Amino acid sequence: MIIAVTGTPGAGKTTVSKLLAQKLGYEYVSLRDYAIEKGIGEMKGDELEVEVDELAYNFERDFKGKDVVVDGHLSHFLNTDLVVVLRAHPRLIGERLTERGYSREKIGENVEAELVDVILVEALEENENVIEVDTTGKTPEEVVNEILGLIEKGVEKRVGVVDWSEVYDEVIPYLRL
Ligand SMILES: Nc1ncnc2c1ncn2[C@@H]1O[C@H](COP(=O)(O)OP(=O)(O)OP(=O)(O)O)[C@@H](O)[C@H]1O
Ligand SMILES: [Mg+2]
């Protein structure tokens, strides 16, 4: 089975994907590292710009039929069996990206994206099997156990677990208004 773990930058994809892969005994794949290794896309400053179709084509060829957890904010554009969308309070996204030294522009862009469900909407446009998990106030271990519990129960779709419009006021300082 191929499980994609996607979400806004800073939502916890890498942390959760590695632990999930370890618990399932699956291979962990960083989509960014894979793209770089395969020479897909080009660096624009710090950012890797990739052709999503080319990435998906190559990934399918290399991983079809394998047991993989694939980590990346573009992983919902791949052909996978299950897409896990990690959500985090937009304030947490703001705090984590500030700590990483991202620009105000980049922080604002990502806090806004989390606030209005950009990745979730994209994931639902591209996939049937989408599981949304709120990581807020949970440990990575708890998040992984929640995912494993849903998989065990055979849940293939669960969305609508967060509504960040309720916390809009808390993140105004991060927004590019
Ligand atoms: N419940 C949780 N799940 C995942 N990460 C958490 C959780 N609670 C706290 N964290 C912390 O949040 C941070 C998330 O960073 P991580 O690098 O995993 O995010 P990411 O989504 O992979 O970011 P990027 O898109 O930039 O690669 C880590 O410091 C991690 O320890
Ligand atoms: Mg990551």
pLDDT confidence bin for 46, thresholds 50/70/90? confident
State which ligand 1 atom lies nearest to the alpha carbon of 143.
1
* Cα 121 from Cα 74, distance rounded (Å): 13
Q: What is the pLDDT of residues 60-95, one digit of tens each?
A: 999 999 999 999 999 999 999 999 999 999 999 999
* Cβ-contact 111, 171 below 8 angstroms: yes
Torsion angle in degrees (nearest 10) through CA of 48, 51, 56, 62: -60
pLDDT confidence bin for 13, thresholds 50/70/90? very high
Say yes or no: CB of residue 72 within 6 Å of ligand 1. Answer: no
Q: What does the mean pLDDT of the chain come to? A: 97
Find tokens 């800073």 and name the residue: 10
Please state whether 67 falls in left (phi above 0), alpha (psi between -120 and 50) or beta: beta
| Ligand with an atom nearest the CA of residue 107 | 1
What separation in Å is there between the alpha carbon of 100 and the centre of ligand 1?
Answer: 11
Does the pLDDT at position 110 exceed 90?
Answer: yes
Average pLDDT over residues 152-156: 98
State which ligand 1 atom lies nearest to the alpha carbon of 9.
25
Look at residue 120 in the predicted model and tell me its pLDDT: 98
Question: Which among 8, 13, 14, 15 is the best mutation to test ligand 1's pocket, defined by most ligand atoms within 8 Å of the CB?
Answer: 15
The residue whose C-alpha atom lies closest to atom 24 belonging to ligand 1 is 9
Average pLDDT over residues 142-170: 98
What separation in Å is there between the alpha carbon of 13 and the centre of ligand 2?
Answer: 5
Look at residue 70 in the predicted model and tell me its pLDDT: 99
- Looking at residue 44, its amino acid is K
Look at residue 45 in the predicted model and tell me its pLDDT: 85
Q: What is the pLDDT of residues 116-150, one digit of tens each?
A: 999 999 999 999 999 999 999 999 999 999 999 99
Average pLDDT over residues 14-39: 98
Average pLDDT over residues 15-44: 96
pLDDT confidence bin for 108, thresholds 50/70/90? very high
Task: Tell how strand 47-49 and strand 42-44 pair up.
Answer: antiparallel
Burial class (CB in 10 A: 0-12, 13-18, 19+), 154: exposed
Q: Domains in the chain, please, with CATH?
A: 2-88+123-162 (3.40.50.300)
Does the pLDDT at position 34 exceed 90?
Answer: yes
Instruction: Please state the three-class secondary structure of 103-131 as a single string.
Output: CHHHHHHHHHHHHCCHHHHHHHHHCCCEE
